[in-house]
Structure 1
Amino acid sequence: MILSFSFSWKPQKKKQNWRCSLAKTYRVVSSASVDVLWQKIVNLADVSWHPLLTSTNVPKGLVAKPGLIYQEVTRLIPIPIRVFVEKVRPREVFSVRIIAVLGVEKRVSYQVESTLCGSYLSYSVTLKGWLSPLVWWLISPYEEKVASKLATAAEQVRG
Structure 2
Amino acid sequence: MGSKQPVWIQRLWTWAVRCKLQRTLDRTYRTISSASVDRLWQTVVDLADVSWHPLLTSTNAPYGLRPKPGLMYRAFTRWLPIPINVFVERVRPRELLSIRLFPIPGLEERVTYRIKSTVWGTQISYSVALRGWLSPLAWSLLRPYAARVASALARAAEQTTTPLSGNQRSNFQAW
Give the CA deviation at 1:139: 1.1
Deviations 1:96-127 (A, max 9, x none): 00111111110000000011211000000000
User: 1:71 pairs with 71, 74, 78, which one?
Assistant: 74
CA contact (8 A) 1:46 1:55 kept: yes
Work out the CA distance in 2 between the residues paired with 1:85 and 1:29. 25
Q: Of the two, which has the highest radius of gyration?
A: 2
Partner SS, residue 144 of structure 1:
helix
Give 2:95's aligned residue.
92
Partner SS, residue 38 of structure 1:
helix
> Are 1:82 and 2:82 matched, yes or no?
no
CA contact (8 A) 1:36 1:158 kept: no
Give 2:137's aligned residue.
134
User: 1:124 pairs with 127, 133, 139, which one?
Assistant: 127
Work out the CA distance in 2 between the residues paired with 1:61 and 1:103. 32
With normalisation by structure 1, the TM-score equals 0.87
Q: Percent identical across equivalent pairs?
A: 59
Aligned pairs (5 A) from 1:1-159:
18=21, 20-157=23-160
The structure with the largest helix share of the pair is 2
* Number of equivalent positions: 144
Letter of the aligned partner of 1:155 in structure 2?
Answer: E
With normalisation by structure 2, the TM-score equals 0.79
Letter of the aligned partner of 2:95 in structure 1?
Answer: E
The structure with the largest strand share of the pair is 1
Letter of the aligned partner of 2:117 in structure 1?
Answer: S
Work out the CA distance in 1 between the residues paired with 2:147 and 2:161. 23
